[in-house]
């Protein structure tokens, strides 16, 4: 049975053994961002929620939320490029996701505020690399279901992270 709930992205492993404390950033005007939403920076350097059609670099994942923000309101973001997140995926069968460094093994973002997940059917943005099978459903504590919306471990690809590497 597939998981029915989409949770967004949850940090599960600190980057490279470091303390990954969320950092404070100013928010874009009128932004509504939920905890667990992937976020990016607008042209003024303010945080805005990433959208599934965006090709912008990701800053990280929201650690706090804002609703109808006034420009400059604070938000905290897990922005470490080595952070590992738990999130649902559109399918449990990911071709060659662990054995290749190819961008074809990286996947895109889909969903909406408060309910983002990884779209394994597309790989044009190459935002997320699957780095492991996931564990337990974060709410029920049961093993993550196989198939649609299965939980897996993800890392933002360095080529698409604001603080990642280019090339």
Contacts of residue 150, Cβ cutoff 8 Å, sequence gap at least 6: 2, 3, 88, 89, 91, 92, 134, 144
Q: Are residue 60 and residue 85 in the same domain, yes or no?
A: no
Cβ-contact 90, 118 below 8 angstroms: yes
Contacts of residue 1, Cβ cutoff 8 Å, sequence gap at least 6: 145
The torsion angle over the Cα atoms of residues 12, 13, 14 and 17, rounded to 10 degrees, is 160
Q: Which of 78, 102, 125 is the last residue of a domain?
A: 78
Q: Are residue 39 and residue 101 in the same domain, yes or no?
A: no
Phi, psi of 80 (to 5 degrees): -70, 125
Q: What is the pLDDT along the chain (167 residues), one digit of tens a residue?
A: 445 567 789 888 665 556 678 999 999 988 899 999 999 998 899 999 998 656 678 999 999 999 988 888 999 999 988 888 988 887 655 544 455 555 556 778 888 888 888 887 766 777 888 887 765 655 666 655 555 677 888 888 888 888 876 54
**107-135 b/e (C-beta count within 10 Å ≥ 16 → b):** bbbbbebbebbbbbeebebbbbbbeeebe
Rounded to two decimals, what is the model's pTM?
0.82
For residue 43, the enclosing domain spans 21-78
DSSP 70: P
Q: Are residue 154 and residue 94 in the same domain, yes or no?
A: yes
Does residue 13 fall inside a structural domain?
A: no
Q: Are residue 49 and residue 98 in the same domain, yes or no?
A: no
Number of domains present in the structure of the chain: 2
- Local structure of 110: helix, strand or coil: strand
Where does residue 147 fall: left (phi above 0), alpha (psi -120 to 50 degrees), or beta otherwise?
A: left
**24-43 b/e (C-beta count within 10 Å ≥ 16 → b):** ebbbbeebebbbbbbbbbee
Q: Are residue 116 and residue 132 in the same domain, yes or no?
A: yes
């Amino acid at each position: 049975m597939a998981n029915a709930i989409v949770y967004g992205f949850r940090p599960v492993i600190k980057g490279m053994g470091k303390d990954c404390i969320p950092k404070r950033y100013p928010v874009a005007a009128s932004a509504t961002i939920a905890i667990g939403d992937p976020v990016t920076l607008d042209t003024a350097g303010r945080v805005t929620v990433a959208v599934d059609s965006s090709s912008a670099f990701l800053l990280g994942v929201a650690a706090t939320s804002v609703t109808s923000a006034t420009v400059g309101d604070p938000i905290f973001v897990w922005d470490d490029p080595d952070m590992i997140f738990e999130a649902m995926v559109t399918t449990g069968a990911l071709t060659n996701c662990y054995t290749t460094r190819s961008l074809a093994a990286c996947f895109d973002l889909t969903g909406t505020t408060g309910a983002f997940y990884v779209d394994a059917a597309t790989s044009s943005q190459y935002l997320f690399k699957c780095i492991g099978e996931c564990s337990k459903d974060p709410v029920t504590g049961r093993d993550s279901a196989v198939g649609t919306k299965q939980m897996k471990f993800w890392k933002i690809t360095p080529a698409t992270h604001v603080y990642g590497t280019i090339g």
